[in-house]
Every structure is written in C-alpha cells, then in structure tokens.
Chains A and B, each alone.
Chain A
C-alpha cells in the first residue's frame, strides 16, 4: 500500500454510491439499514482525511467492504424469509 496516490473525488463518490446501491439490495431490514448507515458514517468521518496514504488506505478498505457487501447481498437474497420484518410493514 506504500506510495499509493490518494483516490480522486470522483472515485470516492463512485465508491460511496456503489455501497449505498448494494446496501439497498439486502433483503434483511436490519442489515440493509446498517450497511447504509455505516457507509454514510464512515464517509462522513473520513471526509477531512488529507494525508494521501491514509486516504488511500480508507479507500482500499471501502472497496473491500463493497466486495463483502455484494457477495452477502446475494447470500441474504437466497435465504430471505417469506415474511418481512414488522418494521417494513405499514403501521396499523
């Protein structure tokens, strides 16, 4: 990872959008909400990351998490229970 250039703004935004898109694909209410929230919080916390190696490391971590989320969104969809969480149903 040494001497890796910091990711461009466009690359960061694209990664963020991919994570949010993948988060939406989780069939499980809690995992879906968590993935979205955790990604948003991580990008917000790292917004001021100026140091290029640190920014590159955070970017690489984000890409790794995206791969995990993509695989797991598929796994979750394969075994999704028929009934939804009460949180996804309309309030009576």
Chain B
C-alpha cells in the first residue's frame, strides 16, 4: 500500500503526456497538434501566451467578413455547378460566377471576357509563361524576366530552358527596380514574352509597369505581370499599363485561398497553350469546374478593394511610417531593403545589422512575421531576392518582412515595435560583432581563422 502510494505520483506524472497525446488524437479536426489552454498555446513545442499578432500579409491575408458573407450561400443551398445548363442550380451559380468575373475585370480596367479563373497566381504564371511560349514556339524562342521574380515564374522559365528556349534573367538595381534601358536592350526579334512582377512579394517594390508596357508595345512583345501582391493595393489599368497577361490571386486581397485569375488580352489577341486538358471550361484556357464559392469570394474581395483602396492605402501608409519611426527611434543600423519611394507601404522589409535572423524570428514568437517569402523560408539560405539587390549575405540573413494590412491596428504596430526593439537589443548585447563594430573595428577587415 505504502509502495503504491509512493508510485502513484510518478505514474500520474508519466501519465499526463499520454493523456494529452490522446486528446489531440481524438480531435482530428485540429490538423496541427496544438493545444489551446486558457492561458497559453503550444504549437510545435513553442509556448506562447496568445495568438500572435499577424504581420505576414504578403504570405496571405485574413478573409474579410464581407467576403465570407458573400461566399457562404454558395456553400449552403446554392451548390450548383456553374456549367450545368439544364436547371436553376446551374443558372444561379453561373450568374454569380459571371458577376464575380465582372468585379475582377472592373478592378483592373479589363473586359470580363479577358478574365479566366484559375486556382491562384502560381497557376496563372505557369499558364502565362509556358503557355505563351509554347503557343508561339515556331517564331519566338526567347523570354525576358527579372532575377527577383516569384519562384513559380523562375521555375517556369527554367522549365522552358530545358525545352530549348532561351531566357534572360535581368538583374535589378540596388533599389530593386528593373533598369528600363537594360530591358529594352535585352529584347530581341524572337523575344516572345517579357515577365516582370508588379509588386515584389519580399521587398514590396513597385516596378514601373507603364514604362515597361510602353517598351513592350513598341517592340511588339507581350508583357506579362504577376500582380498577385499589387491587386487592390495599387491602381492597375491593363490598358494604360500596356499589360498583355496578368496573374491575380484571391487570398492576397482578403479573399479565399485557392482561387486566382489570369487576365489575357483580346485586342491585340494573345493566345496561350492551355496546361490542363478537360471539359473546356473558361474557354478552354483552364478546364475544370469553376469553384463557385471561391470565385464569388474573389469577386467580393475585388469589389471591396475597389471601394476601400484609398482608405486602406492612407491607413497602411500611416502605419508603415509609425512602424519605421518607432523602430528607428530606438535601434540603429536598420536598413530598408528595396526602394522606399517606389514601394507598396504594406510591406516593410528591414535588415538589422549584427543580429542573426533566425534568432530574431524565434524571439518574436508573439509577432507573426517572416524573413521573406513563405515558399523559401523553409531553407536557411538567404533570400535570392535580397541577393539580387546586392545585399551582403550577413544583412540578407537578418531581414524581417513586416506586412501591414486592412485589419492591422496601431496597437499591434506599437507592440511589434516594442518586441522587435527588445529582441534586437538583447541579441546585440550578446553579439561580439556589434561590440567590435561599436568600438570602430571594420568587420570586413578581419581575417577570420579557418577551422
């Protein structure tokens, strides 16, 4: 008896994790083994007091409640396939899809017949880059893009290279912008496509679309732009900017994930070879049933963006200034990556000298930020975008991208400043490099001994 009493606490202690593991297994809906207790959350072994404040708007944005409100009916009673031609269910879905198409088109100054719904900007970029080149493969063998494009454009270009096409990856200036003279020189008689993204996902710089469009028009080359990060945030007009093809995404503008749209110019007509074979939906450009609820949500998000662009822009600009001033007032040697003048203010990419990026991010558990793009944050390599800007490797390693959006509050910005400053100061206090730099030693002159 005495023995068992002594054993009991031991048992209990060992039993506790097993019970916890069981409880998460019993709730398969919780995809991540996260535990939400009243006081704290534990995910992947990290314990935090509450849900972090969200400042990763370039990765994705929260769904606007007005968007969800528009979508829900199509998840409930209005479940028809928009391609069903024989009954009401199909007709009402079709009408909703066409209304959404008009909303998307109107936000970019296009004709609804030029909008093709896809699964997202990655698919659009694939259709645009590979599709155009494959369609015109007999006469056009050359593609121009930039070194700071999104991975899916670069990978599509690599794929084309394997098929025997030639690709020019234009370098960018140290402010992240493409050199227009260099672009013009790179265009050849057999250039089939110029692909330059509108707003960079990592550093937020806005490329001179209008000028690029003009050059492409003069040379008779289709201009494709990946506008996933630009839609609803900066004004886009496909005619004024001479855009031939454009990739758009739903979840970057407070819409649902899993939907996007490709803009494809009708006059002069630009044709692409489809990637998907099937039922010929979306005029054969993108076969597969159009997901009505997602498309309706995307349409609603575009409509709201059109109404709210000025209001959001004013607010986001003010918050960006607040964030930058707040950090700069308390921490020195902070560098903004990318042009400040030609920039979407909802993206502030900062490098903190003498601080290790991963340690900084891990210390900022209560702020959901990223060091760059979500696609590449799994690797420890510094961002290729920052490298293309000529940012030194040590500075590229310490970058943090703060994303500000429609739902960000002043208090969140203030908290982000406070936590970032605290963490940077803490890491610098531990850093011998910072101490040496403060003592006036030029770190580049040091010859480190090899191991």
Contact = CB atoms under 8 A, between A and B. Distances in A.
A56 B442 CA distance: 67
A68 B38 contact: no
Nearest to A73: B65
A69 B68 CA distance: 11
A72 B52 contact: no
Interface string B379-415: 0000000000000000000000000001111011001
A83 B384 CA distance: 36
Contacts of B66: 65, 68, 72
B131 interface: no
B98 interface: no
Nearest to A41: B311
A50 B52 CA distance: 44
A69 B38 contact: no
Interface in A29-48: 30-31, 33-35, 38, 41
B411 A87 contact: yes
Given A30-B62, A72-B65, A75-B68, A86 B48 contact: yes
B36 A83 contact: yes
B311 A86 contact: no
A87 B408 CA distance: 11
Interface residues of A, number: 25
Contact of A75 (B36, B72, B412): B72
Interface string B312-334: 00000000000000000000000
B305 to A, nearest CB: 14
Contacts of B48: 86
A10 B298 CA distance: 36
B36 A89 contact: no
B41 A34 contact: no
Interface string A56-75: 00000000010011011001
Contacts of A83: 36-37, 40-41, 50-51
A31 B51 contact: no
B36 A86 contact: no
Interface string B65-109: 110110010000000000000000000000000000000000000
A81 B36 CA distance: 8
A88 interface: yes
A82 interface: yes
B6 to A, nearest CB: 36
A79 B49 CA distance: 20
Given A83-B51, A86-B48, A68 B36 contact: no
B308 to A, nearest CB: 8
B358 interface: no
Contact of A68 (B40, B65, B366, B407): B65
Contacts of A38: 311
Interface of A: 26, 30-31, 33-35, 38, 41, 65, 68-69, 71-72, 75-76, 81-89, 92
14 contacts: A26-B65, A30-B407, A30-B408, A30-B412, A31-B62, A31-B65, A35-B65, A65-B66, A72-B66, A84-B50, A84-B51, A86-B52, A86-B53, A87-B50
